[in-house]
Amino acid sequence: MLVKDNEKVGPGIYKMALESEEKIKANPGQFIHLKIKNDSYDPLLRRPFSIFDINKKENLLTIVYKVCGRGTKLMSEIKSGEDVDILENLGNGFNLKNKNKNIVLIGGGMGIAPLYFLAKKLSENNNLRVLLGAQNKEELLFLKNKFSKLDLKLDNATIDGSLGFKGNVVDYLKSLIKDKQEIDYIYSCGPTAMLKELKKIVVNNDIQAEASLEERMGCGVGVCLSCTVRTINGNRRACKEGPVFPLKEVIFDE
């Protein structure tokens, strides 16, 4: 795919738009597997990135990523006009069958990224509330501004209290439930610790929920088994049966 733009949108956070020659058919919750450098096998492994948005008219697929290691540092240096090698339409995405429901989307850190494409789809037929969480205001501004343009109710939570609720986003969800906020279904993505706490909430309150899991992947197509997830139905591959799973089925390490 051709890199249309690769711009910095926050502290260490980048947005990369990729232009495809073919019609893009991916669904919310699916991911791409990107080779960092076309002319080298260093880094050897591809990197998985959830799909932030798709513009079908312009045939653009957008990802949002944070520089957190050598691979993503090299990615941030890719220029507009360069070609990148990706595997696309990978994984099992979110359930899109809900209609006329009171739905909450909850994301923490870069786990917010796949929820934007999902929010665009679900807001057409549901009463949608989105909870975004990060360390501080600067990390949230780009994502907050994008979500604020959609037909939904948006709430923010920051650990330092610089934007919205002071504390983590799961604690904010607890306050909504305590205030009898009606919730039929929850979609989520974020750090494992966040999802582990969220699972306790949905189990205790009997709420249906899905989570997109952030797992390290080798091949991205289900062969290497490096992204195995423990569930009540046995081991599952995040890249093939996931990355989206019913949250109540996931077994988190104690």
CATH number for the domain harbouring residue 111: 3.40.50.80
How high is the pLDDT of residue 19?
96
Number of domains in the chain: 2
132 with 86, same domain: the answer is no
Please list the alpha-helical segments (H only) found in 81-222: 113-122, 137-147, 169-178, 192-204
| Domain termination site, one of 68, 90, 112 | 90
**Residue 157's domain spans which residues?**
102-213
Query: Is 161 found in the same domain as 129?
Result: yes
Q: What is the pLDDT of residue 254?
A: 66
Q: Could you tell me the mean pLDDT of each successive run of 10 residues in the chain, 254 residues long?
A: 96 96 91 87 87 94 95 95 93 96 97 97 96 97 97 97 97 94 96 96 97 89 92 95 97 85
Residue 234 amino acid letter: G
Residue 230 covered by a domain: no
The enclosing domain of 9 has a CATH number of: 2.40.30.10
Quote the CA–CA distance of 156 and 164 in Å, as a whole number.
Answer: 5
Q: Please give the angle made by the CA atoms of 121, 13 and 118, to the nearest 5 degrees.
A: 10
pLDDT tens per residue across span 76-130:
999 999 999 999 989 999 999 999 999 999 999 999 999 999 999 999 999 999 9
Residue 179 falls within a domain, yes or no? yes
Please state whether the predicted TM-score (pTM) of the whole model is above 0.85: yes
Do 28 and 60 have their domain in common? Answer: yes
Asked if residue 152 is part of any domain, the answer here is yes
198 and 116 housed in the same domain: yes
Distance separating alpha carbons of residues 94 and 103, to the nearest angstrom: 13
The answer to whether residues 178 and 106 belong to one domain is yes
Tokens 């997830």 belong to 229
Task: Give the residue among 63, 60, 68, 41 at the shortest CA–CA distance from 52.
Answer: 63
Q: Domain boundary residue among 61, 90, 119? A: 90
Taking a C-beta distance cutoff of 8 angstroms, is the pair 84, 22 a contact? no
My answer on whether 76 and 113 are in the same domain is no
Question: C-alpha angle with apex 161: 196 to 197, nearest 5 degrees?
Answer: 10
Q: Is residue 252 part of a domain?
A: no
The pLDDT of residue 26 is 92
pLDDT at residue number 40: 77
Asked if residue 147 and residue 186 are part of one domain, the reply reads yes
